[in-house]
């Protein structure tokens, strides 16, 4: 553990070459520098195949999400006996997960709480184009040629926004993880699935987060979705850090974006001033949702930046983001399809492989 906390792991005899490559990649994903480090990625490719690279990067992004949320909210550590229960095993029981989804469906609300100031307008408009169009680091899968579990996941996921995004095609490499991540993000960013924050506010917060991470993929998608939520050019400009267009947003929106920037940079836990301003405008429940929104957006940004997920065509991005409204019935149907295709046997863990078939020689 001491070796991981410093650069000593690079020379430590306690780790295999595969483990050192994984920790090195994790460090750069966490720092949001993985996108530029072809040398580090080449080392990762020597030890991990495409599906493993996606899952490894997703784990790094997930803990970036957890760290930002828990640190920003200053969550206290549980008592030792509770921690011992949590750390008793690293294995998950798939049947417990299945039972959890079944319980969600069993208690599906007849109506979700309405979000304030909801706008359901048609999207459109320009979005920032990336400076370069680097090739994706792993191939994006096609439902027509992908393995069964991957194809089933993609065909189910495309029903949520009404199209198949490149992000979903990336997650298809690890479909059993991706099928739980995708509806989670969809519910956070859209109206009608439980959020009680205005769509306009959520979009400003998302855009500020993506600007902090220089995250071209989701910045493009959420710029179009922001226009569907009613934002104009002045509001889009205000979402850029240190923008001079502050008059284009309300005091509450400015406070939310300031908080989002601190959470995205993982400095919120040390900024009582920004948090005090946030508390003047939002309830405790709204603060939790805002912080969770930024944390999960940061998670996705770190993953998509590291793996260089390319943009879809402008027409596809427009179709995927033409409205901020989510149909909760589609999410329920999606979860039902996940249960219908529940695996009888899960993929076996492979901790010892050091030279995958798809790795570079």
Residues 32-41 pLDDT 10s:
999 999 999 9
Give mean pLDDT, residues 126-140: 74
Domain range for 98 is: 94-340
Residue-level pLDDT at 79: 84
Q: For residues 77, 194, 298 and 320, what is the CA-based torsion angle, rounded to 10 degrees?
A: 160
Flag whether pLDDT at 129 surpasses 70.
no
pLDDT value at residue 356:
40
Coil, strand or helix: which one is 253?
helix
Cβ atoms within 10 Å, residue 261: 21
Residue 3 lies in a domain: no
Phi-psi region of 32 (alpha: psi -120 to 50; beta: other; left: phi over 0): left
Name the residue with higher pLDDT: 16 or 127: 16
Stretch 326-345: mean pLDDT, rounded? 88
In a domain, 172, yes or no: yes
User: Does position 224 have pLDDT exceeding 90, yes or no?
Assistant: yes
Q: What are phi and psi of 164, to 5 degrees?
A: -110, 115
Q: Which of 72-81, 84-93, 121-130, 187-196 has the highest mean pLDDT?
A: 187-196
Q: Which pLDDT band holds residue 327 (cuts at 50, 70, 90)?
A: confident
Asked, for residue 79, whether it belongs to a domain, the answer is no
Among the ranges given (272-281, 301-310, 345-354), the one the predictor scored with the smallest mean pLDDT: 345-354
Q: How is residue 360 written in tokens?
A: 């570079």
- The reply to whether 256 falls in a domain is yes
In a domain, residue 73? The reply is: no
% of the chain with per-residue pLDDT over 90: 56
Q: Is residue 36 part of a domain?
A: no
* Predicted confidence band of residue 284 (pLDDT cuts 50, 70, 90): very high
3-state secondary structure 32-87: CCHHHCHHHHHHHHHHCCHHHHHHHHHHHHHHHHHHHHHHHCCCCCCCHHHHHHHC
Tell whether pTM > 0.85. yes
**Is pLDDT of 25 > 50?**
yes
pLDDT on residue 352: 47
Residue 86: inside a domain: no
Residue at 44 is within a domain: no
Asked if pLDDT for residue 91 goes beyond 80, the answer is no
Q: How far apart are CA 338 and CA 342, in angstroms?
A: 6
Tell me, what's the pLDDT at 56? 93
Burial group, residue 315, by CB count within 10 angstroms (0-12, 13-18, 19+): exposed
Mean pLDDT of the chain: 85
Paired with 325 in beta bridges are 191
Q: How many domains does the chain have?
A: 1
261/268 Cα distance (integer angstroms): 8
Q: What is the CATH number of the domain that holds 322?
A: 1.20.1290.10
């Amino acid at each position: 553990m001491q070796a991981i906390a410093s650069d000593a792991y690079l020379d430590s005899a306690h780790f295999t070459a595969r483990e050192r490559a994984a920790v090195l990649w994790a460090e750069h994903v966490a720092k949001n520098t993985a996108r530029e480090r072809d040398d580090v990625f080449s080392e990762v490719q020597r030890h991990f195949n495409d599906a493993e690279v996606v899952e490894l990067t997703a784990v790094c992004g997930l803990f970036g999400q957890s760290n930002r949320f828990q640190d920003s909210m200053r969550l206290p550590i549980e008592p030792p006996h509770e921690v011992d229960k949590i750390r008793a095993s690293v294995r998950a029981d798939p049947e417990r997960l299945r039972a959890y989804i079944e319980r969600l469906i069993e208690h599906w609300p007849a109506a979700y709480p309405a979000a304030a100031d909801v706008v359901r307008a048609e999207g459109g408009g320009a979005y920032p184009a990336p400076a370069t169009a680097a090739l994706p680091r792993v191939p994006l899968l096609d439902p027509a040629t992908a393995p069964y579990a991957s194809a089933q996941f993609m065909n189910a996921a495309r029903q949520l926004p009404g199209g198949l995004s490149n992000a979903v095609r990336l997650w298809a490499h690890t479909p059993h993880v991706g099928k739980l991540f995708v509806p989670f993000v969809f519910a956070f960013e859209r109206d009608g699935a439980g959020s009680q924050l205005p769509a306009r506010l959520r979009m400003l917060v998302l855009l500020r987060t993506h600007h902090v991470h220089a995250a071209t993929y989701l910045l493009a998608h959420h710029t179009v979705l922001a226009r569907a939520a009613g934002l104009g050019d002045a509001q889009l400009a205000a979402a850029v850090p240190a923008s001079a267009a502050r008059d284009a947003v309300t005091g509450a929106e400015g406070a939310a974006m300031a908080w989002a920037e601190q959470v995205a940079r993982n400095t919120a836990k040390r900024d009582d001033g920004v948090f005090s301003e946030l508390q003047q405008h939002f309830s405790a429940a709204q603060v939790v949702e805002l912080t969770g929104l930024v944390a999960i957006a940061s998670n996705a940004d770190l993953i998509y930046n590291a793996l260089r997920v390319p943009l879809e065509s402008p027409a596809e991005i427009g179709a995927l983001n033409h409205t901020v409204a989510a149909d909760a019935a589609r999410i329920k149907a999606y979860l039902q399809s996940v249960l219908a295709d529940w695996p009888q046997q899960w993929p076996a863990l492979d901790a010892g492989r050091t030279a995958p078939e798809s790795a570079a020689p």
